[in-house]
Amino acid sequence: MKLPESQVAVLQAASANDARSIERLADETDQKPETVTGAAFELESAGLVAVEESTDETVELTDEGREYVEDALPEVRLYETALEAGADEEPAQMGRVIGQSGLEGPQVDIALSNYARKGYGTIESGEITADPDADPESDAEASALAALDGGEPVEDESVLDQLESRGLVSIAESTVRSVTLTDEGVTALMEGVETAETVGQLTPEMLTSGQWRDVEFAEYNVEADAEEVTGGKTHILRQTANRVKDTLVGMGFEEMEGPHADADFWINDALFMPQDHPARTHWDRFALSNPTEIGDLPEDLVERVENAHHEGVGEDGEGYHSPWSEDFARAIALRGHTTSLSMRYLSGHEIGDLEPPQRFFSVEKVYRNDTLDPTHLLEFFQIEGWVMAEDLSVRDLMGTFEEFYEQFGITDLRYKPHYNPYTEPSFELFGEHPTTGELVEVGNSGMFREEVLRPLGVDCDVMAWGLSLERLLMLMYGFEDIRDIHGTLCDLELLRETEVLH
């Protein structure tokens, strides 16, 4: 029998009563594992060997996992520092305990997000408690890390899953194959096998000389293991943003554009936000140091806005009895909402005066000096929108939300009365998280007040909203932590595998 060289080698190295792994055969025949795999499959389809497959799981510590074997898990370090601070007797100040723990950067987040989950204590309104009965010695995740570090297996799948989702271990699955000679294979070897010349690549010379007629071609093995290629792709957040834009355009909206860093005038003053409003302190805004001020503000509009702040609008209007300064209004900061764009457009400053009916939207980034947690980031995408028309009501607002969210499969919206200085009435919007069932706030909305609209020169109704794109994704795809899709802790697997539905 004539067989290609690689197959002859594998056949000779295989045994009838001892299943040999591809690796061992590769070693013994001095061929690459993929060549041996290909040859084994060929031999199998000729009935000369049997190939058995099983799946093997290898679990390895990541760099971060190894670091915690040495320094203990961040939540354990936090617990131990909290104990030292006496938090088992009386709640301690969280900032202080974190300072003393030596935890830094993302480790603080990691400690905080695992602390309560694992029963080390509670974290509430800036205070931390330590449960005296908690025992870091019996921390299942820490023990599993130590076992893996020592080369021992971990049986508990749920602990492994947890470690994997924390990025502390990587679990790789591979197919293990072993080869055994069949009776036919034994017979073939006894009768003798010879090496046939095989040709891997057809050349122009072979064609012209006619040699191709006499050679044996190597067969392709389309089942051979191939390296996994994970190419770049558009981030699911961007893909969903594009889908939101398409949806709104389909609903008759036009897109607004405008600066990320803008004058407080457009971000706050035009929205009838008093200059001494708590959200306008330097704690909450990202101010620009260069340039610090905007040059061109429409003077007559500034005057009307200032007037509204002092005296309100209409005959029995009420203003704020607090100082108003144009310098304050000129200061530039990163926008905390895209309602600054709505002000620019509604005022006529952007594309000229607008006659009702009009619908505008934007899906753009906003910046807030929030504390990072599973539902808050320092920057996020806001789906801003407004409709200008005669006689709008809250029903129109709710109907628009229902129509919009339905296209993303969300049909269980809830509303809660709310307060904004610039809308009356105002509503917060909630949707139900598909896996935890919790209510997630997805946006804020309302009807712009007269105090906003009159200075802008708008004399009909305007309903408006700012929705969070990230929270929409949470409801669509069920992830629980915004940081899974954004930033340094993001879950690459999730980003690769989530398909944005159209």
104 is in an annotated binding site: no
Contact with ligand PHE (CB under 6 A): which of 20, 285, 337, 449?
337
Does the CA dihedral 270-274-279-281 come out positive or negative? Answer: positive
Task: In angstroms, give the least distance from the CB of 446 to ligand PHE.
Answer: 4
Do the beta carbons of residue 43 and residue 10 sit within 8 Å?
yes
Size of the site for ligand PHE (CB under 6 A): 10
Phi-psi region of 181 (alpha: psi -120 to 50; beta: other; left: phi over 0): beta
Other residues' Cβ atoms within 10 Å of the Cβ of residue 286: 15
Task: In angstroms, give the least distance from the CB of 233 to ligand PHE.
Answer: 30
Q: Which residue is nearest to ligand PHE (CB)?
A: 466
383 is in an annotated binding site: yes
Sites for ligand PHE among residues 460-479 (CB under 6 A) = 464-466
What's the chain's Rg over C-alpha atoms? 33
Residues near 297 by beta carbon (within 8 Å), at least 6 away in sequence: 263, 265, 326, 329, 330
Nearest CA-CA partner of 58 in 175, 177, 224: 175
Do the beta carbons of residue 78 and residue 111 sit within 8 Å?
yes
Nearer to ligand PHE, 11 or 463 (CB): 463
Nearer to ligand PHE, 35 or 420 (CB): 420
Q: What whole-number distance in Å separates Cα of residue 259 and Cα of residue 270?
A: 16
Nearer to ligand PHE, 25 or 248 (CB): 248
Q: Give the start-end residues of each E strand in 296-374.
A: 332-334, 358-367
Judged by CB under 6 A, the stretch of 142-150, 279-287, 458-466, 483-491 that binds ligand PHE is: 458-466
332 is in an annotated binding site: no
Q: What whole-number distance in Å separates Cα of residue 73 and Cα of residue 139?
A: 10
Sites for ligand PHE among residues 395-454 (CB under 6 A) = 420, 423, 444-446
Do the beta carbons of residue 106 and residue 62 sit within 8 Å?
no
Q: What whole-number distance in Å separates Cα of residue 490 and Cα of residue 178?
A: 38
216 is in an annotated binding site: no
Nearer to ligand PHE, 188 or 464 (CB): 464
Task: In angstroms, give the least distance from the CB of 272 to ligand PHE.
Answer: 11
Q: What whole-number distance in Å separates Cα of residue 307 and Cα of residue 468?
A: 33
| Contact map string, positions 166 to 195, toward ligand PHE, x by CB under 6 A | ------------------------------
Task: In angstroms, give the least distance from the CB of 262 to ligand PHE.
Answer: 13
Nearer to ligand PHE, 120 or 386 (CB): 386
Judged by CB under 6 A, the stretch of 92-100, 140-148, 199-207, 459-467 that binds ligand PHE is: 459-467
Nearer to ligand PHE, 24 or 277 (CB): 277
79 is in an annotated binding site: no
Contact with ligand PHE (CB under 6 A): which of 31, 37, 339, 362?
339
Nearer to ligand PHE, 381 or 465 (CB): 465
367 is in an annotated binding site: no
Nearer to ligand PHE, 207 or 279 (CB): 279
Which whole-number Å values give the CA distances from 95 to 74, 84, 92, 129, 281, in the listed order? 15, 14, 9, 13, 21
Nearer to ligand PHE, 347 or 444 (CB): 444
Q: What whole-number distance in Å separates Cα of residue 147 and Cα of residue 151?
A: 6
Sites for ligand PHE among residues 49-78 (CB under 6 A) = none
Sites for ligand PHE among residues 297-336 (CB under 6 A) = none
Nearest CA-CA partner of 442 in 458, 455, 430, 459: 430
Task: In angstroms, give the least distance from the CB of 467 to ligand PHE.
Answer: 8
| Contact map string, positions 215 to 234, toward ligand PHE, x by CB under 6 A | --------------------
424 is in an annotated binding site: yes
> What pairs with residue 358 in β-bridges?
388
Task: In angstroms, give the least distance from the CB of 457 to ligand PHE.
Answer: 18
Task: In angstroms, give the least distance from the CB of 154 to ligand PHE.
Answer: 45
Task: In angstroms, give the least distance from the CB of 427 to ligand PHE.
Answer: 9
Task: In angstroms, give the least distance from the CB of 305 to ligand PHE.
Answer: 17
Can you read off the two tokens belonging to residue 316? Answer: 């029995």
Sites for ligand PHE among residues 22-51 (CB under 6 A) = none
- What are the start-end ranges of the H helices in 197-298? 204-209, 236-250, 264-267
Can you read off the two tokens belonging to residue 203? Answer: 């050349």
Residue 319: burial class (beta carbons within 10 Å; 0-12, 13-18, 19+):
middle
Task: In angstroms, give the least distance from the CB of 493 to ligand PHE.
Answer: 32
Q: What whole-number distance in Å separates Cα of residue 227 and Cα of residue 229?
A: 6
Q: Give the start-end residues of each E strand in 277-413.
A: 332-334, 358-367, 379-389
Nearer to ligand PHE, 66 or 368 (CB): 368
Q: Is 188 helix (H, G, I), strand (E, B) or coil?
A: helix
Task: In angstroms, give the least distance from the CB of 112 to ligand PHE.
Answer: 25
Annotated binding site: 339, 382-384, 422, 424, 448
* Binding region for Mg(2+): 424
Binding site residues, ligand PHE, CB under 6 A: 337, 339, 420, 423, 444-446, 464-466
Q: Residues annotated as binding site for L-phenylalanine? A: 339, 382-384, 422, 448
